[in-house]
Chain A
Amino acid sequence: MVENRPLLTFLTHFALIMGVVFLCFPVWMALVASTHGPDALARSPIPMWFGDQGWQNYSQLLAAGLPEAGGVPLGRMMWNSLIMALGITFGKIAVSILAAYAVVYFRFPFRMGFFWMIFITLMLPVEVRILPTFDVVTKLGLLNTYTVLIIPLIASATATLLFRQFFLTIPDELVEAARIDRAGPMRFFWDILMPLSRTNIAALFIILFIYGWNQYLWPFLVTSDESLYTVVMGIQRMVNSGEALPVWHLIMGTAILAMVPPVLVVIAMQKLFVKGLVESEK
């Protein structure tokens, strides 16, 4: 639609710009706050421009951690978050692409039954099954491990459904050509299905990484060992650090640093993602 109506153009741009400002303002505030000392933020008005404490704040965060919040170094928490996010992402993609492969390409008894069982788990995210799942992992003695941070969050149907829908669009002739070319099930999966799913995998990677990185409730329940704390939990602990006043400049710095990995993932993957949208390879 190419229309030339100045008022409309103005209004749409205005709405978009307001949206951007609305979304970016808190981020800006956090970024600014993380460059001031503790006093500046306690006074009003709150500063709107960078201070001179940035270097000091960030080096303290990265090197020493926060004595007020148990003194876990930020690097450790970032590492834990990264392991959890990547574990969930890779685990989910691997499990769901294999499940979709089985459901679409193999004829086995109760195939549709299994498909519906997977489908029904859509209605059971971790938050809903939190007590039984907690009970299970406790009995398995998995509390305070990376395993418990990752495995229960891997099981879900969304990614399986997405891959299933995608596989159904791959023409049968392609599968048959591969059979004639002597590609067995494993070859077909690796040489044909995986490369064709590349853009779908990239899109899922972005979504799942952010999903994993932002997990709060589940890690909070199953970890008490400080060496397993994730960044999101760390921020929460800093805010509620007992009697002491929250150290806002450092909390904001942590929040900013916690945003970096998801942003990097989006930037790195978006090229593939957009490329997939533009050049349809089917």
Chain B
Amino acid sequence: MAELSITGLGKTYPGGVQAVEGVTAEIADGEFIVLVGPSGCGKSTILRMIAGLETITTGDLLIGDRRVNNLEPGDRDIAMVFQNYALYPHMTVRKNMEYGLKNEGLPRSEIDARIAEATRTLRLEDYLDRKPRQLSGGQRQRVAMGRAIVRDPKVFLFDEPLSNLDAKLRTQLRAELKALHKRLGATFVYVTHDQVEAMSLADRIIIMNAGRVEQIGLPMDLYLRPATRFVAEFIGSPAMNFVEGTVDPDRRSLAVNGSHSLRFAEPLPAEPGHKIALGIRPEHLTEVPAGALSMELEVDFIEQLGADTVVHGKLAGANSPLAVRLHGVQAGAAGSVVTLGCEMDNLHLFDLGTGQRLN
């Protein structure tokens, strides 16, 4: 079995950079886990500790029921796909895929069988005798995946494998990766900074910030009930709107800045006098001024995306920036005022200080 158990994992680089701190996660056999977070938050470091390319400073790492903290990468039953492909430039595609198997001492017939299988899966038959430099970026990354597949590892590790490809190819390879995961049934740990990639690929997402785990959950959980303001801001595009203010004594309104306040149909789930950040996703604001609250938006500019229109502006009377995503093609002029509404269920309340979710 290839579940992955990470307990209290930490990494301090020589020189004192604490890149990862106290990461704990249980990854089930066959799960597609995506590690996501802004650049520099320690995703690659975690992946490289799982791979054995970086020593583990604190904590335990188990693959199956074997503690692998001190095993060499080659002995951990993992395979890794790198952002820059890391193919051996002087070897043909076939040699690239064979290399690890040869070092493992597998018999020729077994090697050939595995390569045949992998090339069929990845449609690489025509390229077996080419060198990496004769391939496009997408093909190179497929070869890198092939090199991982032939090893038949328990755990596949991916470090931003699609980042160097153009948008169209990225979408295509994303679908292929998903299909590959289904077919192989192996455990995938995938690192990306792109939340769209994370949402579309993951069974579960681990979202990281500054070396720590912010939240672990199903993609939809992260979207619908982000545990912290950081998660709320990171997941979803355009990003969630935030209005900061103080809850009034009757808990039915939020004092935004001095004069202006927002009124709600139901009491807010927060203590009177509490300073909070109220989060609303742009797609949850409607032009119907009904529901739990109504607010006015002063339009700054309009983004036409075709299927949708994103209206950017400010909350009237306050200075909070606000964006709304409306269906279809919508007209609107800068300077005009739009009245918007939102359902109570779609409000996210976060403590202004700690960023923790309140409702």
Binding site for B on A (CB under 8 A): 171, 173-174, 176-183, 187, 191-192, 195-196, 198, 279, 281-282
Contact = CB atoms under 8 A, between A and B. Distances in A.
B74 A192 contact: no
B137 interface: no
A182 B74 contact: yes
A279 B133 contact: yes
Contact of B86 (A173, A182, A198): A173
Interface of B: 48, 51-53, 72-75, 78-80, 82-84, 86-90, 99-100, 103-104, 133, 147
Contact of A176 (B82, B88, B90): B82
9 contacts: A173-B83, A177-B86, A177-B87, A179-B53, A180-B74, A180-B80, A180-B100, A181-B100, A196-B89
Q: What 8 A-B pairs are tightest by C-beta distance, nearest first?
A: A182-B74, A181-B100, A173-B86, A177-B86, A182-B103, A195-B90, A281-B89, A173-B82
A111 to B, nearest CB: 14
Given A171-B86, A182-B74, A195-B90, A176 B99 contact: no
Contact of B51 (A174, A180, A191, A279): A180
Given A173-B83, A179-B52, 14 more contacts: A171-B84, A171-B86, A177-B82, A177-B86, A177-B88, A179-B74, A180-B53, A180-B73, A180-B74, A180-B78, A181-B103, A181-B147, A195-B90, A279-B133
Contacts of B78: 180
A183 B83 CA distance: 20
A281 B90 contact: yes
B90 A196 contact: yes
B44 to A, nearest CB: 11
A159 B87 CA distance: 27
Contacts of B99: 178, 181, 183, 191
Nearest to A177: B86
A174 B88 contact: yes
A58 to B, nearest CB: 43
A174 B147 CA distance: 13
Nearest to A173: B86
B82 A182 contact: no
Contacts of B88: 174, 177-178, 191-192
A180 B79 contact: yes
Nearest to A179: B73
Contacts of B89: 196, 281-282
Nearest to A170: B89
B103 A183 contact: yes
Contacts of A192: 88, 90
A279 B79 CA distance: 30
A242 B179 CA distance: 88
A196 B78 CA distance: 26
Nearest to B159: A173
A174 B74 contact: no
A168 to B, nearest CB: 16
A180 B88 CA distance: 13
A176 B85 CA distance: 11
Nearest to A196: B90
Given A181-B99, A192-B88, A281 B74 contact: no
Contacts of B103: 181-183, 187
Contacts of B73: 176, 179-180
Nearest to A187: B103
B100 A182 contact: yes
Nearest to A198: B90
A183 B98 CA distance: 12
Nearest to B132: A281
Q: Which of B72, B75, B83, B89 has the most CB of A within 10 A?
A: B89
Contacts of A281: 89-90, 133
A174 B86 CA distance: 5
Contacts of B84: 171, 173
A176 B86 CA distance: 8
A241 to B, nearest CB: 53
Contacts of B133: 279, 281
